[in-house]
Amino acid sequence: MSHGRDTSPKPYAVVAEFETPDQLLSAVERTKDAGYRDVEAYSPVPVHGLTDKMGFKDDRLWLICFIGGVTGACLGMALEWYTSAGILIPNSIRTPFGFSLPVPAPTGVDGYAHNTGGKPLFSLPAFVPVAYELTILLSAFGATFGMLGLNGLPKPHNPIFNASAMRGASQNRYILSVEATDPNYNEVELSQFLNSLNPLSVEAIKTSEGY
Amino acid sequence: MSSNPTPVDPALLTGEYDEAKLDSVIGNIVLDQKTHNYPEIAVPGPIKGLKTNPWQIMFGLGFLGLNALLLAVGNLLLSGIGIWGNNQPVGWGFDIINFVWWIGIGHAGTLISAVLLLLRQRWRNSINRFAEAMTIFAVMCAGLYPLLHTGRPWVAYWLFPYPNVLGMWPQFRSPLIWDVFAVSTYMTVSILFWFVGLIPDFATLRDKATAAIPRFAYGALSMGWTGNAKHWHRYEQASLFLAALSTPLVLSVHTIVSYDFAMGIVPGWNVTIFPPYFVAGAVFAGFAMVLTFAIPLRKWYKLEDLITMKHIDWMCKVMLATGLIVFYGYIMEVFFAFYSGEPAELALLHNRVNLFNAPYSWAFWILILTNGIIPQVLWHPKMRQNLGVIFTVCMSISIGMWFERYVIIPISLTRDFLPSSFGFYTPTIWDFLMFGGTIGMFLFLMFLFVRFLPMINMFEMKELLHQLHEHHHDDHHGDKEPAANH
């Protein structure tokens, strides 16, 4: 009803419910073979081999995790180098002409360079632990938030939940859906086809009102 | 699932289970609050017919302890840390002892969830969730001590590097600053790992719940988890990465904690064996605490089929192994002191072991008894099946690990180099109150956790179930194949 966008419920997917992971695996395979492209599967436990059958592979997460780690290591080391050593700028530079050139007071580039117990300003061995912890921290952020981001979570509303079978998808049911974005999407044909796979139930669902 | 090369031990899940029954058994502890009423215990005393249950008793004890903690911390904030027994020459006493003790207890959770995941040990599935919860709560208890020992915890952010008007930065060459980074990273990563593990279970609870409030709460926490195959794909990658990151993290955290001592020149502290033996000690203490909780919880909530005697047997073996590493550490400490020929180290050795002529040597011998000798009963397979014996051994280990730190700290600090600076360490009532208080807080949080979050990982148990079935299928195939050949 708002802003001229049509928000009435539209077809979203046809959902078939199976009892075991093996049934889901073969159903996905046969749906793919039947020429459907936008096939999704939902299961209470990870079913191995399912993403292979769907032709899905996503290896971006390790890259995100790795970038996080490298950032953490560099950030940690840079922090320690800057705060403990930094760039030391002399008060004046001696020239060959017999006078010294004053250097304006440095504006914080020298960090907090203090001689502690005669240790070098940049004490690399002592700086390892903090950089190491930050490496792990930022990689872990990468792994967690990368996973959530790539999965599009948090996602409070998802039209797939309009399927009554989806309540079992987190418990003991294995769900296959073909989404309306599929070029071959036709509710009647699809329902007939999915029924031939021997499911517990088949259901055509629509998007929610207002979305 | 089929990629798992080793067959799953059928003893890891006894009884007849299917996915729905697993969900009910674990999920109903949270969703059906009546499960907490078992077993009912009659309250002795004047009120006839008054009954209670273990949850109420443990939670009540925890709540009392938490209040004791608030009292101890309240007085500390009002009066300052002078109310503790810390003084010259012992600048840190109970606070560092308890800090290290709690951090160590937390380490078993990470070990179970991360290291055993990388090693594909399926028996972690039923114990990892509450072990991880233990990790988080133990680190919370641990963090209180250094925070309060700063004297002014409201300016604890000074420990972190932030640009300030004084132009000062933390001293990054100090193990205490390493501690700040190690412990805060450990806390953060443990919470992330725990939460990631909980997401699919939140979805299960969301879909199982009938009442509106749990449905909404678990729904919000599940963040819209659908169980999509592509999501699972990335989820499993993330779990693996987090496990691979937590493993070096857990080793580094206790290594850095041991640096607090090992980097000093105090006799008895300046030894290279500290990092490995602290890490082994942490795992030792942590498994003891996991068993301390697992043994009563599996009985009260009828989880004997999920946390089986096999799990307990294997945990006992881990304790035995790490206990031997720790015991080796004690022997090596004595040997190093003897072999160094250093007068200060030799004097320390005398102060530790001479039962008749050294003020704190009783603590050393309690340590050897509780950590070194008593756990050896677990060598006998029958003892590893006797819950009473195991529980007693776990208690002994918890006491022993506390005394390990007691031996390290006051003995070394009260008798260091100059006789003129010798002294004694006498903890005050506030030290004890705060220690008891953190135990109370731990109990309080653990039993809140038991009540509101699934204490066993539901989806991993379902995975285990599938693996067991697959294994059975393989057996059947094996039976049939010769027949087919004929």
Q: What is the DSSP letter of B8?
A: P
Measured in degrees and rounded to the nearest 5, phi and psi for residue B52 equal -135, 180
Q: Give the mean model confidence (pLDDT) for residues B292-300.
A: 89
| Residue of A137, A143, A158 lying closest to B188 (CB–CB) | A137
- Rounded mean pLDDT, A37-51: 88
Task: Please indicate whether, in this complex, the C-beta atoms of B241 and A61 are within 8 angstroms of each other.
Answer: yes
Residue A20 has pLDDT above 90, yes or no: no
Contacts of B203 in chain A (CB under 8 A): 170
Q: Is the pLDDT of residue B482 over 70?
A: no
How many A/B residue pairs have CB atoms within 8 Å? 187
Mean pLDDT lowest for which of A164-178, B23-37, B265-279, B343-357? B23-37
Examine the pLDDT at B439 and tell me if it is beyond 70: yes
By percentage, how much of chain A surpasses pLDDT 70? Answer: 92
Q: How far is CA B35 from CA A90, B27, B52, B147, B214, in A?
A: 73, 10, 13, 38, 16
Question: What was the pLDDT predicted at B256?
Answer: 93
B178 interface with A at CB cutoff 8 Å: yes
Q: Is B395 on the interface with A (CB under 8 A)?
A: no
> So what's the pLDDT on residue B200?
93
Least confident of A101-110, B63-72, B144-153, B183-192: A101-110
* Type and span of the H or E element at A201: strand A201-206
For residue B484, the model assigns a pLDDT of 38
* pLDDT digits 0-9 by tens, B117-155: 888 888 888 888 889 999 999 999 999 999 999 888 999
Question: Which of A115-119, B73-77, B223-227 has the weakest average pLDDT?
Answer: A115-119
Distance from B133 to chain A by nearest Cα, in Å?
Answer: 18
Which amino acid, residue A198?
Answer: N
What is the pLDDT at residue B474? 52
- φ, ψ dihedrals at B90, nearest 5°: -100, 95
Mean pLDDT of the region B217-236? 91
In this predicted model, which residue has the larger pLDDT, B395 or B13?
Answer: B395
- Residue B481 has what pLDDT? 39
Over 90: is that where the pLDDT of B418 sits? Answer: no
Cis peptide before B200 (omega within 30 of 0): no
Tell me which residue of B82, B188, B96, B90 sits closest to B142, measured CA to CA. B96
Q: How far apart are CA A101 and CA B451, in angstroms?
A: 73
Q: Yes or no: say if A24 and A18 are a contact pair by the CB < 8 Å rule.
A: yes
| Closest chain B residue by Cα to residue A115 | B171
Tell me what pLDDT residue B12 has: 78
| Mean pLDDT along residues B451-461 | 89
pLDDT score for B476: 47
Among partner residues B199, B226, B241, which is closest to A62 by beta-carbon distance?
A: B241
Tell me the range of A89-103, A143-157, B46-60 where mean pLDDT is highest.
Answer: A143-157
Separation CA B123–CA B115 (nearest Å):
12
What letter would DSSP give residue B380? Answer: S
Report yes or no: B19 and B465 within 8 Å, Cβ to Cβ. yes
Question: Which residue, among B284, B357, B295, B352, has the nearest Cα to B321 in the 3D structure?
Answer: B284
**Percentage above 70 pLDDT, chain B:** 93
Largest CA distance in chain A: 98
Chain A residues lying within 8 Å of B230, measured CB to CB: 40, 51, 54, 56, 58, 151
**Of B217 and B480, the one with more pLDDT:** B217
pLDDT at B64: 94
Residue A110 has what pLDDT?
A: 66
pLDDT at A159 over 80: yes
Task: For residues A197-204, give the mean pLDDT.
Answer: 86
Residue B485 has pLDDT above 60, yes or no: no
Single-letter amino acid, residue A108: G
Are B235 and A46 a contacting pair at CB < 8 A? Answer: yes
* Chain B residues near residue A122 by CB distance under 8 angstroms: none
* Average pLDDT score over chain B: 86
Cβ-defined contact of A56 to B168 (cutoff 8 Å): no
Range with lowest mean pLDDT among A48-62, A125-139, B29-43, B76-90: B29-43
Question: Average pLDDT, stretch A139-163?
Answer: 91
List the single residue in A47, A83, A84 with the smallest CB-CB distance to B229: A47
For residue B5, pLDDT beyond 70: no
Class of residue B330 by CB neighbours under 10 A (exposed 0-12, middle 13-18, buried 19+): buried
pLDDT at A19 over 80: yes
* B296 contacts: CB under 8 Å, gap ≥ 6: B54
Q: With the C-alpha atoms ordered B414, B416, B419, B421, is the resulting torsion angle positive or negative?
A: negative
A2 pLDDT band, cuts 50/70/90, is low
Rg (CA), chain A: 30
Cα distance between residue B215 and residue B226, in whole Å: 15
B226/A161 Cβ within 8 A: yes
In percent, how much of chain B has pLDDT > 90?
Answer: 40
pLDDT at B1: 42
Chain B residues in contact with A18 by the CB 8 A cut-off are none
- Taking only residues 457 to 476 of chain B, the set having a beta carbon closer than 8 angstroms to any beta carbon of chain A reads 459, 462-463, 466
Nearest to A41 by CA among A150, A147, A165, A143: A165
Interface test with A, best of B228, B236, B247, B250 (most A CBs within 10 A): B228
Q: Is the pLDDT of residue B238 over 90?
A: yes
pLDDT of residue B384 exceeding 60, the answer is yes
